[in-house]
Amino acid sequence: MVMDINEIREYLPHRYPFLLVDRVTQLTVGESIVAFKNVSINEPFFNGHFPHHPIMPGVLVVEALAQVCGILGFKTVNKLPADGYVYYLVGSDNVRFKRPVMPGDQLTLEANVIRGKRGIWKFACRATVDGELACEAEIICAERKVA
């Protein structure tokens, strides 16, 4: 299963400049997802992080991983933000950064379901660049109905 940016926008409420997933290349409902983010010098955060040595902030790498978790969660329970649901990032464990992510990199985002129960999901996540580990984390998301 492949998702382009138009379908991704159906499953994530995020918009520019905070939509951090460009394409989903693999998705197995209830199990796993693989997606990517093309990192461009045009990203607004590079103006200040850091002007002479641009590095994607680690918290945004974790956010990109959380966004793919949200897509996998929505696909698994067959719901959409348009139905009044949202996935919140509610926790992260064992977060480790192994290499910087810089302009020109293609960040591969992977998440595997560890468990899901009553709308709370835990995922094992990895972000890589050219097969080299950039970040790993366990991410916890909660599905909530919003008004």
- In whole angstroms, what is the distance from residue 55 CA to residue 58 CA? 9
- Indicate if the alpha-carbon torsion angle 116, 109, 16, 1 is positive or negative: negative
Among residues 14, 49, 52, 53, the one annotated as catalytic is 49
Per-residue tokens: 138: 């366990």
Q: Quick one: tokens of 50?
A: 């850091």
Clarify whether 49 is annotated catalytic: yes
Residue 94 burial class via C-beta count within 10 angstroms: exposed 0-12, middle 13-18, buried 19 and up: exposed
Site of tokens 């956010």: 63
Catalytic residues: 49
